[in-house]
Amino acid sequence: MQRLYDFLRRHPTGVDGFWAIILFGISAAAGTAGQERGGTDSMARLVPVALLLCLVIALRRRMPEKMLLLAAGLGVAQLVLNVGATAADFALLVIVYTVAATGARWASRLALVMGLSAATVAAVRWPHDDTSVPGQVAIIVFQTVPFALAWVLGDSIRTRRAYFAQLEERAARLEKEREAQAKVAVAAERARIARELHDVVAHNVSVMVVQADGAAYVLDAAPDQAKKALETISSTGRQALAEMRRLLGVLRTGEHQEGGEYVPQPDVEQIEDLVQQCRGSGLPVDFKIEGTPRPLPSGVELTAYRIVQEALTNTRKHGGPNTGASVRLVYFDDGLGLLVEDDGKGAPHELYEEGGVDGQGHGLIGMRERVGMVGGTLDAGPRPGGGFRISALLPLKPAH
């Protein structure tokens, strides 16, 4: 049964053609019976009109507007040729419904006018002399109601189809928006991981390079210092590996690190450890905290740590020999202030003005992005008396 239904849905014109043949047969049989009873309609006029009306049924879905005009012309022909109402006139009712459901708006309005006026025109052309005026009015109303209902039903079907089409379009648009948002989220996550990797690798590798150079320099003259530098390289490398495992764990969803847990993200409390590490690598750093320390949002904690880490890394890379640095953390009522300064020669101008070229300057770009994500402000540039300064203000919200 389902196969038959699917077949009929795939061949609507064939179905309409079948019903058109049935309707033509009924019309021809009714016309023949009417002539045998002494009717006045001529078969020579009735058959062509009935055949064309049945053609309206057969082609109503393929060309509704043209079939409506054909039906209107056939109605006029019936009036002129004096061909009374036949079973084939049922096509007028069908085409009114079809045009109201699927045709153009002008055709729908024309179909409504035709349907509402057909019964009145027929009553004027073929009056019932043996029926009173109220009776004729009742007949007109009775014959007009089906046309009105057919148009209303067709227009309701049009409205319903338009509503469902709008819903489908909206669903498709929402799906595209979800896909676009997913792509943006993926790109943002990739950028975040790239910033994390940059900060981890740039800082720890620079420490390891400084320690390795120092160890090579004092290897023969001061073995104990060389051993201490190698131990620093070892611990720094382990720290870098731990943080990289945490970042890579984000990419391996569903998998677990050794021990079943990821390494926690750095926070403000670990800034002091970071400073100690820099001091151990040969960079003098003055570290002070002002205000009353208190819990911070995790995003602010990580941002503050990464800013200090990147600033000290840049000091080692661009400050030159005999460079010192200072780090200030200031707890305000509504924000956390960061100030990192050095007295070196400072970073190249293009590094902080244009973001760097050929892969350089990504640290400052990452800093600005991090600060922007927590709604803060960042200022980076050379100090008036020499060296480089990075200051940031990160807004605070009560931690829960």
DSSP string, 91-108: HHHHHHHHHHHHS-HHHH
Q: How far apart (Å, rounded) are the C-alpha atoms in residues 73 and 226?
A: 107
In a domain, 40, yes or no: yes
**Is 135 inside any structural domain?**
no
Q: Does residue 212 belong to any structural domain of this protein?
A: no
Last residue of a domain, one of 126, 161, 189: 126
Task: Give the DSSP per-residue string, 250-308.
Answer: HHSTT---GGG-PPPPP-GGGHHHHHHHHHHTT--EEEEEES------HHHHHHHHHHH
Q: Is residue 256 part of a domain?
A: no
Only one residue has tokens 């389902």, namely 2
Give which of 364, 340, 373, 361 is closest to 271, Cα–Cα: 340
Q: Is 55 within the bounds of a domain? A: yes
Per DSSP, the residues of 9-50 read HH-HHHHHHHHHHHHHHHHHHHHHHHHHTT----HHHHHHHH
Please, what is the average pLDDT of the chain? Answer: 81
Is 16 a member of any domain?
yes
Q: Is residue 91 part of a domain?
A: yes
Domain extent at residue 382: 267-400
- Segments in the chain forming alpha helices (H): 2-10, 12-36, 43-58, 64-81, 90-102, 105-125, 133-218, 223-251, 271-280, 298-318, 349-353, 362-373
Q: Is residue 240 part of a domain?
A: no
Of 126, 151, 181, the one marking the end of a domain is 126
Per residue in 341-355, pLDDT (tens digit) is: 998 876 665 555 544
What is residue 399's predicted lDDT score, i.e. its pLDDT? 44
- CA gap 384, 390 in Å, rounded: 13
pLDDT tens-digit map of 61-112: 999 999 999 999 999 998 888 888 888 889 999 999 999 999 899 999 999 9
- Residue 290: give its domain's CATH number: 3.30.565.10
Query: d(Cα 329, Cα 349) in Å, to the nearest integer?
Result: 26
- Res. 223: pLDDT tops 80: no
pLDDT value for 254: 44
Are 275 and 306 in contact, with CB atoms under 8 Å apart?
no
* Structural domain count, the chain: 2
CA–CA distance, 151 with 161 (Å, rounded to integer) = 15
The last residue of one of the domains, among 104, 126, 148, is 126
pTM, 2 dp: 0.50
